[in-house]
Every structure is written in structure tokens, then in C-alpha cells.
Amino acid sequence: MHATMLDTFPPITYLNDISKRVIEKVHELNNPRIIAGYTFDAGPNAHVFTLQRYVGRVVRALKSINGVERIFVCKVGEGPKYFNNRTNHLIDPETGGIR
């Protein structure tokens, strides 16, 4: 999406200078071997992916970037769950409405 937006006339960009520094830092981290990847939402917010063994190194690197405000470390969830108890459902099966 970001590349397509840059190819318009006039070019549009949601990435800011801090976004670009995150990209540069991930490229630095990936030398000599790849340990992290990145993507962006529809705005300037970076999402950096890595393996558990590299989390500390990646977090330290991102914290070194002036302007990075928050870092959230997330893990893969447990997967889907089936609730036998209807009170745990987010959508009411009777009305279809959100609880």
C-alpha cells in the first residue's frame, strides 16, 4: 500500500521520519542474518516481528530510536476456543447483538 501511494502523483505518504528510522534499524539488525521483519498499518505505526530468542535485542534496538513512544511485546495466542457457556460469547446467539 505504501509503495503504491508513493507512486501516485502527487505522492502520498503516511510514514514519518520515526517510521523510516524503524525500517533502518530493522535492516541494521538483519546484518549479517535476518532476525526481524516489519510491516506498517495504514499509518506510520510499525509492527516488528521476530522470534522469542531475539525479542530482547529487538526491543533494545527500537528503544534506542529517538521518538519511539511505546513498544508492545505480544505473543502468538492459544488459538480458537469453543465456549459451551453462552454467557462467554461476544455475540448473543439469540439476538445476534454484541454483548
Summarised one tens digit per residue, pLDDT across range 69-83 is 999 999 888 888 877
pTM value?
Answer: 0.74
What was the pLDDT predicted at 92? 80
- The domain covering 2-88 belongs, at the CATH homologous superfamily level, to GHMP kinase, C-terminal domain (3.30.70.890)
Which one is predicted more confidently, 76 or 36?
36
15-19 LR contacts (CB < 8 Å, sep 24+): 15/40, 15/44, 16/44, 17/67, 18/44, 18/65, 18/67, 18/68, 19/44, 19/45, 19/46
